[in-house]
Amino acid sequence: MLCKRIIPCLDLKDGRVVKGTRFEGLRDAGDPAEQAAFYSAEGADEIVCLDIAASREGRGPVLRAIERIAERVFIPLTAGGGISSAEDVRATLLAGADRVSLNTQAVLNPGLIEATAERFGVQCVVVAIDFRAGAGLGGWRVFTHGGTVPTELSLVDWAQRAVRLGAGELLLTSMDRDGTVDGYDLEATRAVAEAVPVPIIASGGAGTREHIAAVLAEGRADAALAASIFHYRKLRISDLKAYLGERGMPVR
């Protein structure tokens, strides 16, 4: 069995780490390079860095922030936000990212997934999907532009299509659970995990170590992404990994 991964997330806005609840009420949570270095030393398996304002503001990726983070960590770095072309992908990788996260532009231009996979390899492509629960569309609706624009895409259908186009991994964020610390959407995570053959990163709602254990086991996620509980030092990654290991979950 592959090791389960623990991934802190750095949501960026105006060059700072921010965190809110259900994508609103953003609060400052520190300098991205300093936070990334702390998590690397704590035993994080990867870092995900997402510029949450880029798509809404119609601009490209903030390469300097990616460079600063890459200079401080020696674990895999996934970067996203504002990537709309193969050249943006190339620039992001040259800035120090190991993988890119495609979200809004993947929906608007699905060919970008295919082009990125063909040019840089499927291992480089993470398709991020923001979703809400609701009637119709299989139970969950996909949103774009930092969670501000609803689509007519269902979560599971879009996940399957993204994988067919070349996504090597999927990052699922429950907008209903984001920042609430009430636990992940286990049903949605499991539904996607059972529908696609690629690894799933679960995001949105982590509040306790039990929540993380649940999404890795019951939700069948391959990795758990969290922000609030790590940013505000409510849970140490080293303690979390010890807890998971005691429960028979393979961790690094």
Pairing label, strands 125-133, 169-174? parallel
**Residue 116: inside a domain, yes or no?**
yes
Residue 251 lies in a domain: no
* Residue-wise pLDDT tens digits, 195-207: 999 999 999 999 9
**Domain-located, residue 75:** yes
- Does residue 216 form part of some domain? yes
Residue 252 lies in a domain: no
For residue 70, give its domain range: 5-246
Give the pLDDT band of residue 22 (cuts 50, 70, 90).
low
Number of domains in the chain: 1
Interval 119-178: pLDDT, tens: 999 999 999 999 999 878 999 999 998 888 999 999 999 999 999 999 999 999 999 999
What's the pLDDT tens digit per position in 69-122?
Answer: 999 999 999 999 989 999 999 999 999 999 999 999 999 999 999 999 999 999
Find the CATH number of the domain harbouring 15. 3.20.20.70
161: nearest Cα among 110, 115, 198, 118: 110
Three-state secondary-structure class, residue 75: coil
**CA distance linking residue 86 with residue 59, whole number of Å:** 15
Quote the CA–CA distance of 66 and 77 in Å, as a whole number: 9
Cα–Cα dist 153/190, whole Å: 18
| Residue 32 vs residues 9, 63, 91: alpha-carbon distances, Å | 10, 13, 19
Over residues 39-43, the mean pLDDT reads: 94
Burial of 58 (C-beta count, 10 Å sphere; 0-12/13-18/19+) = exposed
Least confident among 42-56, 63-77, 238-252: 42-56
Confidence at residue 129, expressed as pLDDT on a 0 to 100 scale: 97
Question: CB-side exposure of 3: number of CA atoms within 13 Å?
Answer: 10
**Cα torsion through 196, 176, 237, 243, rounded to 10:** -80
Residue 20 has pLDDT above 70, yes or no: no
Catalytic residue among 45, 51, 88, 130: 130
Q: Is the pLDDT of residue 45 over 80?
A: yes
> Residue 182: is it exposed, middle or buried by C-beta count within 10 angstroms (0-12/13-18/19+)?
middle
Q: In this structure, are residues 231 and 29 in contact, taking their beta carbons and an 8 Å threshold? A: yes
Whole-number pLDDT of residue 75: 96
Per-residue pLDDT tens over the stretch 185-229: 999 999 999 999 999 999 999 999 999 999 999 999 999 999 889
Q: What is the pLDDT of residue 194?
A: 98
Active site (annotated) includes residue 51: no
Q: Is residue 77 part of a domain?
A: yes
Could you give the CA distance from residue 165 to residue 185 in angstroms, rounded to a whole number?
25
Examine the pLDDT at 21 and tell me if it is beyond 80: no
- Collapsing DSSP to helix, strand or coil, 6 comes out as strand
Query: Is 102 contained in some domain?
Result: yes
Active site residue 11: yes
What's the pLDDT score for residue 17? Answer: 83
Q: Has residue 91 been placed in a domain?
A: yes
Catalytic residue among 11, 45, 51, 178: 11
- Looking at residue 23, what is its pLDDT? 56
